[in-house]
Amino acid sequence: MTIAIGLLLAIAAAAFVAAPFFTSSAASEAGPKPVTASERERLERQKLDAYAAIKELEFDYRMHKLSDTDFTVIRDKYAAQALRAIAALDAAKAAEPRPVAERRRPSRIAFCPGCGVSVPGRAKFCPACGRSLREEAVA
């Protein structure tokens, strides 16, 4: 009887842990939703409030008002809050369309595609073979 209960608990625990791998949410498939200006301000405020709370917490700890355990637990909570806000802000920034000028920056060619010789930084032609190093010629 105890073996059956133990086996049942083990199966339930394994199913609980594995459930996120088998379920799909519509939000994860659709990607990040656009963040409005008010949502961005709320996230910025949340980040700054978490920073201020951590600073106040460190001051209280240095004044010996908190134990080591309390300090660690509370600091981890505020750090996680700040990291969630930062991650949401980064995701919103990545989802925003960039201006055309920022999308495509010319890349510097380090080696000649024709002969493989190292090319100086602002060279327009290969110093060894004379091949043009413009992007149109390379592509």
* pLDDT tens readout for residues 96-119: 776 665 555 556 667 787 787 888
Instruction: Let me know: does 80 contact 72? Beta carbons within 8 Å.
Output: no
Does residue 121 have a pLDDT over 80?
Answer: no
pTM comes to 0.47
Helix axes 68-95, 37-62, angle to 10 degrees: 160
The rounded mean pLDDT for the chain is 81
Average pLDDT over residues 64-91: 92
> pLDDT class for 76, splitting at 50, 70, 90?
very high
Does residue 29 have a pLDDT over 60?
Answer: no
Distances, alpha carbon 88 to alpha carbons 6, 25, 72, 83, 92, in Å:
41, 18, 24, 9, 6
Cite the beta strand spans of the chain per DSSP E: none
Q: What is the dihedral of CA 119, 125, 131, 135, to 10 degrees?
A: 90
